[in-house]
Amino acid sequence: MANLLVNLSSTAASGNAPASWAAVNALSASGVTVGATTNVLILIGCVPLNPSTTDCSIEFRFYVNGAQVGGVCQSWMDSTGGDNSDTQFMWAITGLSGSSNSFSVQWQYEQGATQAANTSRPRTFQVIELENDNAEILYSTTNVSQTSPASWGNLFNSGNLTIAGTASIVMLIAMVPLLGVATDAVTQFQFAVDTTREGAITATYCDEANGQIGFSGCHVTNGLSAGTHTFQLQWQRSTGAMNSDPQTAAFCVVEVTGSAVLESAITSTASWSYPSGSFGNDPELDADVTIASTSAVVLVAANFTMASNGTTDTTGLLGIGMDDSQSGAIISSFSDTTNIVGGSLVARAFTGISGSHSFQLMAMINVSVPSMNTSRPRTMFIISFGTTTYYVSGVTRDKDGAILGSCDVYLMKNNGDDTMTMVAHTTSNASTGVYTFSTLGVANSTDLMIIAFKDGSPNIADCTEWNVEAVEE
C-alpha cells in the first residue's frame, strides 16, 4: 500500500532565500504519521525562482525531524533575467515511525543576490509512503567530491546489490551539487545498470560568473534477473571541467516489490519544439494507463535535456500533465547561444484517481523557441503503487468454540520495532460471528494479529498470535 503523506502546493509570497538554511514558506509539514520504520518514503520538492538582475545560485535540501537527508540541489538565475533553470529534486529515506514526524524543503542563497520563489508558478512538496515491506533502500550514500572526466566515468557505483527477481522495480535517485568555475562548463549525467547506460542523458552547467545548477534525476528499471547487479551514476564533461560539491552529492537505490506496477516507460530522441502561449504535450512522452484503484499513488517523472540553437538564448517551462492538464510544479530550463544546455527532472505524484488516464510531459515557450535535444534521450516513467489489496476474515467464538457475535474486532500490525499499529476495526456479525477486513493495503505477511473484545458480565477478550495472513483479493 502507498500513501501520499504530504501534498503541498503554494504560490504565496516566500520572502528571499536566506544566507543560512531555513524552511521555504508553505513547504513544511509537522505531526505526520509514518506507519513503520521499515516503510520507505520518497520525497519530491520543487521551488521555481523569480527573475533576477544579478547572477545568483540558490541551494535546496530536504530537512526531516531536525536533520538534512540526501543531497543538496541548486537552481540559478542570471543577470539577463531570461536565462534561468529550476530543478526538481527527489530522495528516499526509511527508519521513521510514529505520529510526530516533520518534513520541510529548505533553501539558502549560495552566490550573488538572494531570490524569492516565483509566485506565478507553484512550488510543491510531496512525500510518498511505501508500506509493508514492499520497498527497501538497497544503497544510499553521500559526500563525494570528484572532477568530471573527459569520457563517461562513475561518480557513484553501488557495487553488487541483490535483486529479488524480474518483478522488482528498481529506482535510482541522485542529487549532485556542483562547484562554480571561472569559465563556461557543461557536464552530462546518465544512470547505468551493470555499467550499461539506461534512460536519459541530461546536462547541467556553470557559467563564467559562477552561476551554476546542480543535477537531480531519477531512473526506473525492471525485469532484472534475480541475483546481484550494480548501479551507477555516470558523468562526463562536455565543455570545461566541473567538480561535485562535497556538501553533499547523494545517490540511492530503492527496490520496490509487491503492489507496484511500472505502467509505462518511454525513451525518445524525436525532435519537438515547445508550443507558444499555453502548455502542450510532448507527443513522445505521453501515455495512456489504467489505474486499478483510487487508493493507488501514481508517480510520473520525466528527465530531459534542451537543445541549443546556437543563435539565441532560449528558456522553456515544463511540468507533468494528467489528462492534458498541467499539474503541480512548473520548472524553467534553458539553453544559450554558446551551447550551454540545461536539463532537468520533472515529477508529480497523484492519488484518488482510477480508471483510464493519460499522463504526459508538458511544455511551453518562455523565452525564444526552445526544443528537445535529439542527441540525448529523454525519458518518462509511470509507476502505480498500492494497486493490490488484501482481506482478512474470520469468526468470533467463545472459549468453548461457540459463536459469539457483536464483538469489537481489531486488526493489528506488528511494526517490527516494539510497536504495533491498528490497521482497521469492525464488529462481528451478531448471529454468525463473521468479520471481514477488506480492501486492505497490508501485504500477505505473517505480522498481523486479531484482537476481539465484547462488553458483558464478565467482559470477554482474546487475541490471535502474530501469524494472521492477509489474502489477496
pLDDT > 70 fraction of the chain, expressed in percent and rounded? 91
Instruction: Give residue 463's Cα distance to chain centre.
Output: 39
Q: How far is CA 18 from CA 26, 66, 107, 214, in A?
A: 15, 18, 7, 19
Q: What is the pLDDT of residues 420-450, one digit of tens each?
A: 888 889 999 999 999 999 877 655 455 789 9
Burial class (CB in 10 A: 0-12, 13-18, 19+), 166: exposed
Cell reading at 259: 503492489
In angstroms, the CA 420 to CA 470 distance is 16
Which CATH number is associated with domain 390-472? Answer: 2.60.40.1120
Question: Could you tell me if 120 and 13 are in contact, meaning their C-beta atoms sit under 8 angstroms apart?
Answer: no
Highest averaged pLDDT of the listed ranges 302-306, 310-314, 332-336: 302-306
Q: Which residue has the higher pLDDT, 53 or 323?
A: 323
Cell reading at 285: 512522452
Q: Which of 215, 46, 44 is nearest to 146 (CA)?
A: 215
Q: Given the C-alpha cell 543577470, which residue does it identify?
A: 79
Is residue 207 very low, low, confident or very high in pLDDT (cuts 50, 70, 90)? low
347: number of Cβ within 10 Å:
26
Using the predicted structure, report yes or no on whether residue 52 has a pLDDT greater than 80.
no
> What pLDDT, on the 0 to 100 scale, is given for residue 308?
74
Average per-residue pLDDT for the chain: 88
Cell reading at 276: 507558444
> What pLDDT, on the 0 to 100 scale, is given for residue 245?
76
At 367, which helix (H) or strand (E)?
strand 355-367
Domain ranges of the chain: 2-385, 390-472
Question: Could you tell me if 446 and 471 are in contact, meaning their C-beta atoms sit under 8 angstroms apart?
Answer: no
In angstroms, the CA 440 to CA 431 distance is 25
> What pLDDT, on the 0 to 100 scale, is given for residue 444?
46
> What pLDDT, on the 0 to 100 scale, is given for residue 133?
62
The pairing of beta strand 325-335 with beta strand 40-46: unpaired
Q: Which of 42, 253, 257, 254 is nearest to 159 (CA)?
A: 253
In angstroms, the CA 292 to CA 295 distance is 9
> What pLDDT, on the 0 to 100 scale, is given for residue 359?
98
Compute φ and ψ for 308, nearest 5 degrees. Answer: -95, 135
DSSP state of 272: -
Cell reading at 184: 563556461
Q: Given the C-alpha cell 489477496, which residue does it identify?
A: 472
For the ranges 76-80, 190-194, 431-435, which has the lowest average pLDDT? 76-80
> What pLDDT, on the 0 to 100 scale, is given for residue 375?
86
Say whether 278 sits in a helix, a strand or coil: coil
> What pLDDT, on the 0 to 100 scale, is given for residue 211?
58
For the ranges 32-36, 213-217, 358-362, which has the lowest average pLDDT? 213-217
Q: What is the pLDDT of residues 119-162, one digit of tens each?
A: 999 999 999 999 866 799 999 998 778 888 999 999 999 999 99
In angstroms, the CA 189 to CA 1 distance is 32
> What pLDDT, on the 0 to 100 scale, is given for residue 410?
96
Q: Which of 369, 356, 271 is nearest to 317 (CA)?
A: 369
Is residue 232 very low, low, confident or very high in pLDDT (cuts 50, 70, 90)? very high
Give the amino acid at 306: M
Question: Could you tell me if 36 and 421 are in contact, meaning their C-beta atoms sit under 8 angstroms apart?
Answer: yes
